[in-house]
Structure 1
Amino acid sequence: MTETPRAVVRPGVRAVNAAAVLAVIRREGPLSRAAIGEHTGLSMPTVSRKVSALMDLGLLREFPDLVPTGAIGRPRVPIDLDDTVFAACGVHIGVSTTTYGLSDLRGRLLDSDEIPTPGGGAEDALAHIAGKVRAFLRRWPRRTVVGIGLASGGLVDSAAGLLDHDRLGWHRVPAVDLLHRATGLPVHLDGHVPAMANAELLFGWGPRVSGLLYFYAREVVGVALAVDGVLHRGPGGGGSIAHLPIGGDTRCPCGATGCLEATVADRTVADAAVLAGVVAEPDIRLVRAAARAGDPVAGRLLADRAAALGRAVGLLRDAFNPDRVVLGGQAITDPDERLPDLMRAFATTTTLPGTDIVSVTRFGSDLQATAACTGLLTRLFDHPLDLLDDARKAPAR
């Protein structure tokens, strides 16, 4: 399924009601039919029809074992997601590493793998990735894969399925069409930071707060803002914090010094470690290993990066004043011994009261694969009837 620009069409009542039933069960389930009606405001006949339709599709099932013992009157059999049939595939294309995975309907990662991001032209690179994904999915013959969530940095045009990624040398690449033709599966493209924020909205902090700021740092940096469970998307895609001025003397490709991304990127820290004689090659994993072994220079480099990240989080927290800030990305989750340095810098930078609003994502090193899968799950939960119909048309793997 290639996504092309089209006029906005309001979904029919049938589709809206099916999505509403699925959403409330996903958030509150297991629920009886009567409880679904109370949560959604739908009539009992409508609830019964939608539940039956979603059960026939394999998205829901009854759980008679959960009926309370000794219940009086007609038993109200709880209904919940059936997480044994369908799965969502996700592909995250990073600057140096491409990760792909498979998750169930609850966002639990069933399996994942990673490869170095292929060099060369975009078409050959995506063909190589598609071949790896096809082989990967053959490990799960009993799962019905509803599609592929493709997440990447750079500039993403989700509606047209186009990807611009300067770091990879990709310009106006029809990524959705190429991956769809190579796999036969529906493909949904999104920016990697919005995809990660969506993972938090569906399966993390999202259901518990009205305002959520998601902050990501690894080789690149990014931020996403969600209000009342809806991700803000500005014109032309997401904003950028790559050039947020956080101080320092690291020179950015833009010509300035102290830009956030140039200061905190893995490669910047690794290059500094090579220059200082700490490691022989610019690999952030070697820098972390040296810090764990007690090398004071490696420890200082990681502590300085954590402090720069903390200053950035403090500035952004003050600008947006969210209920919760969630931190993700291996620059934060991998060197966990540096998190106190980040939090100290955050506390001294923010001018708003309270510093206990910051949390680290629970997805850890599975973040990239989970986020890419979640992009597809979001489509499934919003449009279950359409997406499953498209998935059935896909050729057998």
Structure 2
Amino acid sequence: MPDIPRRPSVRATNAAAVLAVIRREGPLSRAAIGEHTGLSMPTVSRQVGVLIELGLLREFPELVPVGAIGRPRVPIHLDDTTFAACGVHIGVSTTTYGLADLRGTLLDSEEIPTPQGSAEDALAHIAGKVRAFLRRWPRRRVVGIGLASGGLVDVERGHLDHDRLGWHRVPAADLLRRATGYPVHLDGHVAAMANAELLFGWGPRVSSLLYFYAREVVGIALSVDGVLHRGPGGGGSIAHLPIGGDTRCPCGATGCLEATVADRTVADRAVAAGIVAEPDIRLVRAAATAGDATANALLADRATALGRAVGLLRDALNPDRVVLGGQAITDPAERLPDLLRAFATTTTLPGTDIVSVTRFGPTLQATAACTGLLNRLFDHPLDLLDQAPRTDHPAKRSTDPVGA
């Protein structure tokens, strides 16, 4: 995907400012947009006109108060009927892809086992699935694909290193772009999930936010004033955060966070205890739901370890809000009290009511991947739309998928 210009024009900056305030505060009249952005009314009118013509905004005359006196101030809001962003999340065992509208609503999603073999073959297989998936939405103009993955991500070059998959210096963004025809933006999966919170969750309400993720891998992302912190070489790692315990990590130490709380670790322990016949976390959860005391204890121990980790990180970074995500936290929802108790006993800072669970639930991975592209669209709407494939359907046609 070609790089977005680092120094956008005044016109592009103004368009992004109008989109940003409508996304946060909308629906808004043109006058209200001017008040929030500080732009002149002629500038607001021009930008709104361009964004309406593009299909990013539309007027909502039905929202004008009945009996309003004087010239009606017709509210403007995002047009969620035309454009959509595709997202692909590549996990260690599962790959998820989906489609979201401009308000972050997931329109549809699917999961497949992450293909084995070379990165080139795996991405070609994923691309074929995504092309077939998007053909079901012919009346949407897809602006591109947000690709999210664990491992070491080079956002600028679109390269991916993923030891768990055996991928090294893979030009993932370019391979997927060539196979689908869409511009592709690669990002780390935890950064993408944090971006989803910044755009459509807690982000607009707090000045600093710590996002904590746990499933087969663990990770965090920190944002300050709505901007994700990205250190040298991408995000940091909490995989080896020492939280205690006797689980042996591939690094040779014991008590590392990721090795202790990973789905596979819990499932392997359940097999060793004779609870389940194969190492599948879903079977462990089912056994716990059925009342197996040992299965419940394994999940409770993991929740406690996660709570300790969250407490340590909260003390180190001191954010206004901590948001938790990932199936290790959201799927066994009955274990959340164990996590929160461990957090409360670990943190030494005042106030323990700053922890929330992401509202995206099981759609987290697909929504986050889509949001990576939406974030790019909102920041650089004119540039990104120039890169998106053209379609021959008018902007205001029905958006129901074929066969729905």
TM-score normalized with structure 2 length: 0.96
Match of 1:14?
11
- Alignment pair present for 1:28 and 2:25: yes
Give the deviation of 1:342 after TM superposition.
Answer: 0.5
Tell me the residue number matched to 1:364: 361
Indicate the SS of the match to 1:392: coil
**Residues of 2 paired with 1:361 and 1:25: CA distance?**
23
Report deviation, 1:394: 8.0
1:234-286 CA-partner distances (Å, limit 9, x unpaired):
01100000000000000000000000000000000000000010000000000
Question: SS of 1:348's equivalent?
Answer: helix
SS of the residue corresponding to residue 365 of structure 2 reads helix
The alpha-carbon distance between structure 1 residues 395 and 279, as it changes in their structure 2 partners (threshold 3 A), is farther
Whether the aligned pair in 2 keeps the contact of 1:88 and 1:149 (CA below 8 Å) is: yes
Aligned to 2:249: 252
Q: Which residue of 1 aligns with 2:399?
A: none
Q: 1:274 & 1:27 partners in 2: Cα distance?
A: 48
Find out whether 1:286 has 2:283 as its counterpart: yes
Match of 1:376 in 2: 373
User: Are 2:127 and 1:130 equivalent residues in the alignment?
Assistant: yes
Structure 1 residue 74 displacement after superposition:
1.1
Aligned residues of 2:153 and 2:188 also touching (Cα < 8 A)? yes
Q: Partner of 2:330 in structure 1? A: 333
User: Match for residue 181 of structure 1?
Assistant: 178
1:37 aligns with one of 34, 37, 41? 34
**Cα distance, 1:9 vs structure 2:** 3.0
5+ long unaligned stretches in structure 2: 394-404
Conservation of the 8 A alpha-carbon contact between 1:184 and 1:395: no
Quick one: distance in 1 between partners of 2:57 and 2:391? 22
Distance, in Å, in 1 between the alignment partners of 2:391 and 2:352 is 49
Whole-Å Cα distance in 1 between the matches of residues 59 and 76 of structure 2?
Answer: 4
Q: Take 2:391 and 2:284, find their aligned partners in 1: how far apart are those partners?
A: 45
The counterpart of 1:110, out of the listed 107, 112, 122, is 107
Q: Secondary structure at the match of 1:281?
A: coil
Aligned match for 2:66, one of 65, 69, 92: 69
Cα RMSD (Å) of the superposition?
A: 1.2
Q: What is the Cα deviation at residue 67 of structure 1?
A: 1.0
Runs (4+) of structure 1 exceeding 2 A deviation are: 392-396
Where 2:144 maps in the other structure, the secondary structure is: strand
Q: In 1, distance between residues paired with 2:294 and 2:355?
A: 28
- The correspondence for 2:203, drawn from 202, 206, 220, is 206
Deviation at 1:310, TM superposition (A): 0.3
CA distance in 1, matches of 2:30, 2:221: 36
Pick aligned residue for 2:160 from 163, 169, 187: 163
- Alpha-carbon distance, 1:392 to partner: 3.4
- Of the three residues 121, 125, 130, the one matched with 2:118 is 121
Partners of 1:213 and 1:224 within 8 A in 2 = yes
* Partners of 2:338 and 2:31 in 1: CA distance: 51
The Cα of 1:69 is off from its aligned counterpart by: 1.4
Q: For residue 47 of structure 1, report the CA deviation from its aligned partner.
A: 0.4
Query: Is the aligned partner of 1:353 residue 2:379?
Result: no
Corresponding residue for residue 150 of structure 1: 147
Aligned length: 393
Q: SS at 2:388's partner residue?
A: helix
TM-score normalised by the chain length of structure 1: 0.97
Report the equivalent of 1:321.
318
d(CA) in 2 for partners of 1:80, 1:2: 29
Q: Counterpart amino acid of 2:207? A: S
> For 1:267 and 1:2, how far apart are their aligned partners in 2?
38
Judge conservation of contact 2:320–2:354 (CA < 8 Å) in 1. yes
Q: 1:107 touches 1:374 (CA, 8 Å); kept in 2?
A: yes
1:220 aligns with 2:217: yes
User: Displacement of 1:110 after TM fit?
Assistant: 0.3
CA contact (8 A) 1:185 1:394 kept: no
Give the Å deviation of 1:393. Answer: 5.0
CA distance in 2, matches of 1:26, 1:206: 12
Matches of 2:24 and 2:110, distance apart in 1: 29
Contact 1:2 1:161 in 2 (8 A): no
**Identity across the alignment (%):** 86
Q: Is the Cα–Cα contact under 8 Å of residues 155 and 191 in structure 1 kept in the other structure?
A: yes
Which range moves more in the overlay, 41-50 or 61-70? 61-70
Q: For structure 1, which runs of at least 5 residues remain unmatched after alignment?
A: none
Q: Tell whether the 8 Å contact from 1:2 to 1:187 is kept in structure 2 after alignment.
A: no
1:72 CA displacement: 1.4
The residue that corresponds to 1:261 in the other structure is 258
Please say if 1:196 is aligned against 2:193: yes
Find the residue that maps to 1:101 and give its secondary structure: strand
Q: Which amino acid aligns with 1:130?
A: A
CA distance in 2, matches of 1:190, 1:203: 18
> Residue type of the partner of 1:54?
L
Matched AA of 2:238: I
Q: Which residue of 2 aligns with 1:238?
A: 235
Equivalent position to 2:83, from 86, 90, 106: 86
Shift of the alpha carbon at 1:75? 1.1
Deviates more, 1:61-70 or 1:206-215: 61-70
Secondary structure of residue in 2 paired with 1:172: strand
Letter of the 1:284 partner, please give it: I
